[in-house]
Every structure is written in C-alpha cells, then in structure tokens.
Amino acid sequence: MENHLQHLPGRSEPFTMIAVQGGRFDMGGESWNTDSLPVHPVEVDEFWMGNTRSPRRCGLP
C-alpha cells in the first residue's frame, strides 16, 4: 500500500491519501474510563486516511 492522490468528481484538485499500516494493539484502559474495560487485543486492517483537515461537521446537515 502506498500514498496516492484521490480525484473526486466536481473538484479541480486531488487530495493526498496517506497509507496507514494495519496491525494489532491493546485497546482499552484500566483507570481512566470504565467503558473501555477490559483491555483487549484489536487487529486493524490497513487503510487510507485523508491528509486534508476538514471541519468537524463536514457533510452533516
């Protein structure tokens, strides 16, 4: 997987998509948020993430 430029219909300029490597990590916490108990292993597939900031409400009515 490599970074790439994403072209969208109706936009004149593409934006950069950053390749994020998948992997395994421990998710959760034992002291700061009881909703995250118990700590447990999680595996995430590789994915792309946009390199452009967007407003928090981007696309919401």
Separation between Cα atoms, residue 41 and residue 17, nearest integer Å: 27
pLDDT tens per residue across all 61 residues of the chain: 899 998 888 888 888 999 999 999 998 877 766 677 788 899 999 999 988 776 666 555 5
Q: Is residue 57 part of a domain?
A: no
What 3-state DSSP class applies to 35?
A: helix
Q: Is residue 43 part of a domain?
A: yes
Q: Is residue 44 part of a domain?
A: yes
Instruction: Choose among 52, 42, 57, 47: nearest CA to 16.
Output: 52
pLDDT of 37 reads: 76
Q: Which domain holds residue 37?
A: 14-50
CA of residue 32 relative to chain centroid, distance: 23
Q: Is residue 9 part of a domain?
A: no
**Overall number of domains in the chain:** 1
Q: Residues 6 or more apart from 42 whose CB is under 8 A from it? A: 24, 25, 26, 27
